[in-house]
Amino acid sequence: MTEENKSNNNLSRPFGGTGGLHYHDYLQLDKILSAQQPESEKHNAAAHDEMLFIVIHQTYELWFKQLHHEADSVVNIMRKPSLNDNSPELQTVVHRLHRMGVILRVLVHQIDVLETMTPMDFLDFRDMLRPASGFQSWQFKLLEAKLGLKFEHRHGQEYYTAQLREEHVRLIKEAETAKSLLQLSGEWLERMPFFDDNRLWEGEFSTADNHPFWQAYQKAYASSLAEVEKDNLQYFSDVFFRQREGHYTFSAKAARAALFIMLYRGYPLLQLPFQLLNELLDIDEQFSTWRHRHMNMVHRMIGTRIGTGGSSGKDYLKAAADKHYIFKGLAQLTSFLIERRRLPQLPKAVERKLGFEAAE
């Protein structure tokens, strides 16, 4: 038999045939399907819904693993000193951020399945779980750290890592000292070149607040405000001309770039950057939705009782949900948008730079 015939024979062999990879082995189903060990069975106490409880939470942890896989790849791309806004790399970042948002929506919808378990069903096995708790999900805390949530800005710092294993605490601390997606997004925005090139703009300028575009935009923004909103003008100056980068906020330079992208996203060069910003906001929104759904489910299941891990249950979850917004510095920029018809007309040189010619 010729080498070509051997190759064709291998291609025609059924999946899982002799010597081939089998679906069952590839997915290691022996391990996965034997990983459900209900505590109620060990105590010889019937609790039908504990199997659902285990499967749901194991599924959560698998999705967390995938979210880490996507987040790590995005961070590795964005930490490069130069990221071309017309490059396939930016498309990859947007695509993977979008996937993260879709996965988070799945996590929210899984609560619908878990809520088919009634409070009495849960009580059949709840006390057998102590002190195990979702609060001990190190993958979730690690993901928050990679995105940009740091210890000093967490709710419940006193027992945030108290119940975690030492090796998991170490991973989270390492992530908190590394550059997060929030920080890398700010650095990427600061590299936006359009405002620094005097040749593109009509008029002289030496600082951002006397730049012809921002002078025109601030005037248009002021005219769009209602009388009770006039205090926003000082807020505008603080955010776009004086703000230093801090937690949950971008520097003034990054904030100006982000707002410009939002305002002129119709130009070809800004379409992908706008999608990137939009995906970051969506990830934050889906995390918030999940936290609030989880909080309401906990209240429905155990009322005002404490959690199995010792937290204050619903009260803790509500405080965390209200505080743990990572990209809120980006979300606040919508306060400074104006109608399209009021937007300053860009110079022709800038329009050309933002068009398809920018790829040359």
DSSP letter at 48 equals T
pLDDT for position 360: 43
Query: Is 177 part of any known ligand binding site?
Result: no
Domains and CATH numbers, the chain: 48-75+84-185+195-359 (1.20.58.480)
Beta-carbon neighbour count of residue 94 at 10 Å? 20
3-state SS, residue 249: strand
Sign of torsion, CA 260 258 188 93?
negative
* 294 assigned to a ligand binding site: yes
The answer to the question of whether 53 is labelled as a binding residue is yes
Residue among 72, 37, 27, 88 nearest 58 (CA) = 37
pLDDT in tens, 344-354: 999 999 999 88
pLDDT of res. 161: 73
Q: What is the dihedral of CA 74, 76, 79, 83, to 10 degrees?
A: -70
Predicted pLDDT at 297: 86
pTM: 0.87
Q: Residue 199: what pLDDT? A: 80
Cα separation, 326 vs 347, whole angstroms: 35
Specify the pLDDT at position 204. 72
Give tens-digit pLDDT for 152-164: 767 665 666 777 8
Question: Dihedral, CA atoms, 279, 213, 205, 192, nearest 10 degrees?
Answer: 20
Rg (CA), the chain: 26
Q: Is position 126 annotated in a ligand binding site? A: yes
- Per-residue model confidence (pLDDT) at position 95: 97
Give me the amino acid identity at 359.
A
Per-residue confidence (pLDDT) for residue 131, from 0 to 100: 80
Separation of alpha carbons 224 and 263, rounded Å: 15
- Is 338 among the annotated ligand-binding positions? no
Q: What residues of the chain score a pLDDT lower than 50? A: 11-12, 16, 358-360
pLDDT score recorded for residue 157: 59
- 55 annotated to bind ligand: yes
- Given this model, what pLDDT does residue 159 score? 63
For residue 61, the model assigns a pLDDT of 97
216 within 8 A of 338, measured Cβ to Cβ = no
Q: Please, are residues 23 and 15 in contact by the beta-carbon 8 Å criterion?
A: yes
